[in-house]
Amino acid sequence: MAFSWGIIGAGDIARKHVAAAMQNAAGHRLAAIMRRDPEQAKQFAADFGVDRVYTDARDLVNDPTVDAVFIGTPPSSHAELTALAAAAGKHVLCEKPIAATVEDARAMIEVCARHNVRLMICHYQRFNTRHQQVRKWVQEGAIGRVVSVRMNFSSYSPPGPDAWRHSRAISGGGPIMDLGSHCLDLLMYTCGPIETSAVLTDSLVYDTDVEDTATMLLRLASGAQATVTTHWSAMTPDAETSNAIEIWGTEGSILAYPLYSKDSSGGLWLRRADSVEDHSRGPGKKIHEDVVEHFRQAIQSGGPVLVPAEETLAGLEIILGKPYTE
């Protein structure tokens, strides 16, 4: 029997990436969707061939045909909806960032543990096969000891008429929350825990209540230093190569781009004193298919998830300037 999904918040992210992954991954099916606007909900369901349509999340989580839910709403609602799903016995795959506040994120982890359901945050960067290779090289010592990392994940994003990401009450923050959360997760995945941090945020271009430009200076537990930049404020002529992670070690360096790839395609270079290796690759399987399949396997086996909520909490605490403690 196919693993059955419900989507709460059948909006842009679900339409572009998640719904199709649930349909295309072997052994999965999209059984139900929820969106508050009934006409938009019906249209989404028609586009993806979904029979069960709801406008209230409570109805979806109580649907007995649904095994797990994807929460694709803005961050301010993640905690409430996670608690609703967990109480109904549904496993939760939640869009990033985990939540708009540290308190909400902790509540999500606690409520899922209390109701014995699994929680994973949809940081798809860990499922990019290029990034998995980067992690392997770092762990094998292919570039010696890692001493420095530089990452940029940015886009030119002026506020529009329905730009909820520019509202702190809904999003929790600007590009540091939207894009920086991915960067911190990828940094921890490839290079290990973060020990200390300093964050600069500024509204340099847009008159909104979130930053449009941000920089993080980080020291990893290994001693390596890292800088992460995220912005919505600057036009980037070459978005592909500028949205990248570059890692320097005592014996070489690694470059991977673009961070936003949803099919693992892009540039991947291993550079050492005696060689420059091009491991770049073309389009492959859609990453979100691996995300949903991995989550199914973790639920059914009881094994660990690739994106532990506790690590995403650590990233959120850095973003919000609250030092992470065990």
- Co-location of 27 and 157 in the same domain: no
Q: What is the pLDDT of residues 240-298, one digit of tens each?
A: 999 999 999 999 999 999 999 999 999 999 999 999 999 999 999 999 999 999 999 99
How many CB atoms neighbour CB 275 within 10 A? Answer: 8
CATH code of 77's domain: 3.40.50.720
pLDDT at residue 148 greater than cutoff 90: yes
- Co-location of 21 and 37 in the same domain: yes
Helices H / strands E in the chain, number of each: 13, 14
Q: What is the pLDDT of residues 115-127, one digit of tens each?
A: 999 999 999 999 9
- Co-location of 135 and 250 in the same domain: yes
pLDDT band at 216 (very low <50, low <70, confident <90, very high): very high
- Residue 324: inside a domain: no
| Mean pLDDT within 32-55 | 97
- Co-location of 88 and 22 in the same domain: yes
- Residue 253: inside a domain: yes
- Co-location of 270 and 197 in the same domain: yes
pLDDT at residue 19 greater than cutoff 50: yes
Domain boundary among 248, 268, 284: 284
How many CB atoms neighbour CB 59 within 10 A? Answer: 14
Domain extent for 49: 3-121+287-308
**233-261 b/e with 16+ CB inside 10 Å = b?**
beeeeeeeebbbbbbbbeebbbbbbbbbb
Stated pTM of the model? 0.95
Total domains in the chain come to: 2
- What pLDDT does residue 226 have? 98
At residue 71, what are phi and psi to the nearest 5 degrees?
-100, 115
Share of the chain above pLDDT 70, in %: 98
- What pLDDT does residue 253 have? 98
- Residue 317: inside a domain: no
Strand partners, 244: 152
- Co-location of 171 and 53 in the same domain: no
pLDDT at residue 326 greater than cutoff 80: no
pLDDT at residue 172 greater than cutoff 70: yes
pLDDT at residue 85 greater than cutoff 90: yes
**Is residue 154 within 8 Å of residue 229, measured between CB atoms?**
yes
- Residue 181: inside a domain: yes
| Mean pLDDT within 54-58 | 98
| Mean pLDDT within 231-247 | 92
**182-215 b/e with 16+ CB inside 10 Å = b?**
bbbbbbbbbbbebeebebebeeeebebebbbbbb
Lowest mean pLDDT among 108-117, 134-143, 188-197, 317-326: 317-326
- What pLDDT does residue 7 have? 98
- Residue 167: inside a domain: yes
- What pLDDT does residue 239 have? 86
- Co-location of 277 and 191 in the same domain: yes
- What pLDDT does residue 322 have? 58
Helix (H, G, I), strand (E, B) or coil at 303: coil
At residue 3, what are phi and psi to the nearest 5 degrees?
-70, 130
pLDDT at residue 323 greater than cutoff 70: no
pLDDT band at 324 (very low <50, low <70, confident <90, very high): very low
Give the whole-angstrom CA distance, residue 291 versus residue 287.
6
pLDDT at residue 173 greater than cutoff 60: yes
- Co-location of 156 and 259 in the same domain: yes
**Is residue 54 within 8 Å of residue 60, measured between CB atoms?**
yes
Average pLDDT, the chain: 95
